[in-house]
Amino acid sequence: MAEQGKKQIPLRVSAKLYDAIAAWAEDDFRSVNGQIEYLLTECVKQRKKNGKYVSDTIDEPLELDIE
């Protein structure tokens, strides 16, 4: 049985990925932390729904062309 409450975990992301998440969070009126939690939750829901990840290429490195 999972323990209730939130766990703190260290997370390292590239500066470009952080900036993209931060901009998205601002658009959605969330904190960066809240946006990351939202994205992870949606991925887990998708996996539970159909047994697959959101994308077949989820493990491929991201190439962000954000200027």
**Domain coordinates in residue numbering, the chain:** 15-50
Q: Which residues of the chain have pLDDT under 70?
A: 1-3, 52-62, 64-67
Compute how many other C-beta atoms are within 10 angstroms of the C-beta atom of residue 17. Answer: 13
pTM over 0.85: no
Closest CA to 55 of 37, 42, 36, 38: 42
Lookup: tokens for 36? 């990351």
Q: What is the pLDDT of residue 58?
A: 59
Q: What is the structure's pLDDT at 43?
A: 83
How many CB atoms lie under 10 A from the CB of residue 35? 19
Distance CA 53, CA 67 (A): 28
Phi/psi of residue 16, nearest 5 degrees: -65, -45
